[in-house]
A and B are shown apart, each in its own frame.
Chain A
């Protein structure tokens, strides 16, 4: 059965409303809040700091350590028990991998750059919102970056490629393909790519094209947020 109209009425290549703000946590070296639809992610960067335990230290460069967490009341159903889950550990790891390619941490050997991501409210697209906020927080902190990282979740529902999958679409009865993508918008290089579901190669190509256009929009909002601090 073809998916002809999105549940929330959006166009197939339309993002939900996005907004970004930096410097939201004064104690942190850099921080940011990123909202996409009703998903709200905040990120804070602390570092370079001493890395314990010592065996984790890299004598050549600093280590990026990301910690992704959902607040207990941020899920749409029951309360989420506090503490790391297998899912949050996987997302933390993937977030590191999505951000590492843009960072040069050679000035901070043996140290750690901690990035903490908290979700205040979740409504699909959470790992991507976390990555987008984290990239902003790193830029806010002044760590040299080759580019920002922008991320968004795409999907295939029946015969359509959808941009910025909603919660209802994630839960689609017939099953769907969920494809989070993180990108360096300037060059289009991809630093996160996951897929749950079934797609053809052509569908994936369409996904990546749509992802680039969407990430460029997110990129603009990220950049405006960084500039806004200084354009008063």
Chain B
């Protein structure tokens, strides 16, 4: 048991199946999704609020050469920045391991492994010109559970996106003109982070709860319930039974969250 009053208080409540704000252990805070928040400049954008946690994501599209081993495929590049604007705990500077982990495990892996985007459909001219979808997510206020918020925001931004006009002869993109063509999303891979605190499992933690956790597992699931990404964090281990329970919980919540994006 820690000697930190704040952490002990969180743990005592959770032991009694209650949270700081009165929520149940498997209850999310209020979620708000706003599309097109940067519509003048981004090809697609969205803002997501989970309680007081706020993140914004934007899509830019570029045309370039394909990778030599994938001549008929475009690709995605995901970037996450945990802005010092959003928390006293984040510093200015190059991406930290935390933001890199989020970009890779929460955004990139989910989209890639679920085959949510058909990269072949991003080809303009095989071997020569393909689209790259650049996804950038920024934290605006960190009150816990940035990972799930970023997962939702990036999906919402992709949904919001429209391809800009591409002049094949001039080989130039006219960013000022958007076509009506969207990015086809075949799946909506939803990441849900579950924390183990004492012997209980908690979703959508606020900051004080994140500080009280022993372990966490982010589980990304698709519509049919299959898992397309997993990432464990926290200093203590999880038993196989823990992991089963967490995956069940995350899959259930993933289904609920997916409805918000439909």
On A, residues with C-beta under 8 Å from B are 25-28, 38, 40, 42-44, 46, 49, 67, 71-79, 82-83, 114, 116, 118, 120-123
Give the residues in chain A near B41, CB-CB below 8 Å.
Answer: 73-76, 121-123
A42 to B140, CA, bound (A): 9
A27 touches B38 (CB 8 A): no
Among residues 42 to 80 in chain B, which have CB atoms less than 8 Å away from a CB atom of chain A?
42-43, 45, 52, 54, 56, 58-60, 62, 79
On B, residues with C-beta under 8 Å from A are 37-43, 45, 52, 54, 56, 58-60, 62, 79, 81, 83-88, 92, 94-95, 134, 136, 138, 140-143, 173, 175-176
A120 to B40, CA, bound (A): 10
Give the residues in chain A near B176, CB-CB below 8 Å.
Answer: 76
A78 to B63, CA, bound (A): 10
A118 touches B134 (CB 8 A): no
CB < 8 Å neighbour of A27 from B59, B79, B94, B142: B142
A50 to B73, CA, bound (A): 49
Give the residues in chain B near A79, CB-CB below 8 Å.
Answer: 60, 62, 134, 136
B136 touches A42 (CB 8 A): no
Question: If the complex has contacts A25-B141, A27-B141, A71-B56, are A76 and B85 also in contact, measured as CB distance less than 8 A?
Answer: no
A72 touches B86 (CB 8 A): no
A40 to B56, CA, bound (A): 13
A123 to B95, CA, bound (A): 27
Give the residues in chain B near A43, CB-CB below 8 Å.
Answer: 85
Given A72-B134, A78-B175, 7 other A-B residues pairs in contact with their CB atoms under 8 A:
A27-B143, A38-B40, A73-B58, A79-B134, A116-B92, A118-B138, A121-B38
In the A-B complex, the 3 residue pairs with the closest CB atoms: A73-B58, A79-B60, A73-B42
B84 touches A114 (CB 8 A): yes
A44 → chain B closest CB, angstroms:
4
B84 touches A82 (CB 8 A): no
Give the residues in chain B near A46, CB-CB below 8 Å.
Answer: 84, 88
A114 to B86, CA, bound (A): 12
Give the residues in chain B near A122, CB-CB below 8 Å.
Answer: 41
B61 → chain A closest CB, angstroms:
8
A73 touches B85 (CB 8 A): no
A25 touches B140 (CB 8 A): yes
A77 to B176, CA, bound (A): 8
Give the residues in chain A near B142, CB-CB below 8 Å.
Answer: 27
A117 → chain B closest CB, angstroms:
8
Give the residues in chain B near A28, CB-CB below 8 Å.
Answer: 85, 141
Give the residues in chain B near A76, CB-CB below 8 Å.
Answer: 40-41, 175-176
CB < 8 Å neighbour of B92 from A26, A67, A75: A67
A136 to B35, CA, bound (A): 26
Give the residues in chain A near B173, CB-CB below 8 Å.
Answer: 78
A25 to B55, CA, bound (A): 11
A27 touches B56 (CB 8 A): no
A92 → chain B closest CB, angstroms:
10
B153 → chain A closest CB, angstroms:
12
A88 → chain B closest CB, angstroms:
11
Give the residues in chain A near B136, CB-CB below 8 Å.
Answer: 71-73, 79, 82
Give the residues in chain B near A42, CB-CB below 8 Å.
Answer: 85, 140
Considering only CB atoms, which chain B residue lies closest to A67 in the complex?
B92
B176 → chain A closest CB, angstroms:
7
Give the residues in chain B near A116, CB-CB below 8 Å.
Answer: 83-85, 92
A158 → chain B closest CB, angstroms:
24
Give the residues in chain B near A78, CB-CB below 8 Å.
Answer: 60, 62, 173, 175
B85 touches A44 (CB 8 A): yes
B154 → chain A closest CB, angstroms:
12
CB < 8 Å neighbour of B88 from A27, A82, A123: A27
B138 touches A71 (CB 8 A): yes
A36 → chain B closest CB, angstroms:
13
A74 touches B58 (CB 8 A): yes
A42 to B138, CA, bound (A): 13
B59 touches A73 (CB 8 A): yes
A52 → chain B closest CB, angstroms:
9
A73 to B37, CA, bound (A): 11
A28 to B86, CA, bound (A): 7
A49 to B43, CA, bound (A): 38
Considering only CB atoms, which chain B residue lies closest to A123 in the complex?
B40
Give the residues in chain A near B56, CB-CB below 8 Å.
Answer: 71, 120
Considering only CB atoms, which chain B residue lies closest to A29 in the complex?
B88
A41 to B59, CA, bound (A): 19
